[in-house]
């Protein structure tokens, strides 16, 4: 025992000297370079005297166990008793035994220090192997967590870059919106209105060309042809074209929507007026047949 004490003191002195000479490292290197504890010998031989003493103590315990077992067999009740009563008795016996074991203090199998040393070494070896398994599992889990942490950090950096780009884009859009003044908005509106007016003028010109080609005003030649057919027809020189009639109806509808009717006079050629009414382009006044208006197409 004195030799063991000297060995332990010398080992502790060596450990303290190594700790003084080593430089402090960071936490990660300390975790990675954790020294593995020295292996505990799996088996320590006992002397023949200790083995003989342990063998004798075991024989005494086995003899006592056999004696108690015989007493239990002799104390068992006869099989003629009620099975329910046997179960109750056994339950009571087990409860009493449990209570006795709970109040009893554990005793050592042997008081020989050499035997206790061997048993303690075996238990320490088992504990050491279990702790090594725990250490390996912890290290594997630590490595897995480190990899997960690296992936999460990369993902976080990417998200930060996306957020930064989005923030810059929003700031640029705000600056551009601030630069747009009311004058520029007004100019854009005027340009759009002018485009619509130009488009309307082109449509009106196209409509005038189509009407002038397909619906011309009556001339002296057409009047002479009708006279040959014995159809009396007087030609008014103040007649307006079909394009002018439609333009007058549209302007009246837009300028005075509350009174969109136009009076029919001698300047309206009756065939064109009748054509507009029959084809649903115009309609008469419900009370005055000499007034017409443009049909509502909306």
**What is the per-residue pLDDT for 21?**
44
Is 19 a residue whose pLDDT tops 70?
A: no
> What does each C-alpha distance from 192 to 78, 133, 177, 183, 278 come to in angstroms?
116, 81, 20, 14, 37
- Who wins on pLDDT, 181 or 232? 181
- Who wins on pLDDT, 231 or 264? 264
Is 157 a residue whose pLDDT tops 80?
A: yes
Mean pLDDT for all residues in the chain: 78
Distance CA(87)–CA(276), nearest Å, equals 116
Residue range 146-166: average pLDDT? 95
**What is the per-residue pLDDT for 221?**
53
- Who wins on pLDDT, 215 or 8? 215
CA angle at 204 for the pair 199 and 210, rounded to the nearest 5°: 125
- Who wins on pLDDT, 2 or 100? 100
**What is the per-residue pLDDT for 79?**
57
**What is the per-residue pLDDT for 298?**
65
- Who wins on pLDDT, 189 or 37? 189
> What does each C-alpha distance from 123 to 110, 129, 171, 221 come to in angstroms?
16, 10, 70, 135
Distance CA(253)–CA(251), nearest Å, equals 5
pTM of the complete model beyond 0.85: no
Cβ atoms of residues 222 and 266 within 8 Å: no
């Amino acid at each position: 025992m004195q030799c063991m004490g000297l060995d332990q003191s010398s080992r502790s002195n060596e450990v303290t000297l190594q700790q003084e000479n080593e430089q402090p490292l960071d936490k990660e290197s300390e975790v990675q370079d954790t020294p593995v504890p020295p292996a505990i010998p799996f088996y320590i031989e006992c002397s023949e005297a200790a083995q003989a003493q342990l063998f004798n103590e075991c024989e005494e315990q086995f003899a006592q166990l056999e004696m108690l077992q015989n007493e239990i067999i002799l104390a068992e009740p006869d099989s003629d008793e009620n099975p329910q009563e046997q179960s109750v008795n056994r339950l009571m016996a087990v409860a009493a035994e449990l209570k006795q074991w709970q109040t009893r203090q554990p005793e050592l199998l042997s008081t020989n220090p050499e035997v206790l040393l061997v048993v303690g070494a075996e238990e320490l070896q088992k504990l050491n192997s279990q702790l090594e398994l725990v250490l390996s599992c912890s290290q594997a889990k630590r490595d897995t967590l480190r990899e997960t942490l690296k992936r999460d950090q990369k993902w976080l950096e990417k998200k930060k870059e996306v957020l930064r780009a989005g923030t810059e884009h929003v700031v640029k859009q705000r600056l551009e919106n601030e630069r747009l003044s009311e004058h520029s908005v007004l100019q854009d509106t005027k340009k759009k209105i002018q485009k619509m007016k130009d488009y309307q003028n082109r449509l009106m010109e196209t409509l005038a060309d189509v009407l002038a080609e397909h619906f011309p005003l009556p001339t002296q030649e057409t009047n002479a042809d009708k006279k040959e057919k014995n159809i009396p027809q007087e030609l008014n020189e103040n007649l307006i074209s079909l394009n002018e009639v439609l333009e007058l109806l549209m302007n009246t509808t837009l300028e005075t929507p509350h009174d969109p009717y136009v009076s029919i006079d001698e300047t309206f050629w009756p065939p064109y007026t009748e054509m507009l009414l029959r084809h649903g382009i115009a309609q008469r006044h419900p009370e005055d047949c000499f007034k017409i208006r443009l049909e509502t197409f909306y």
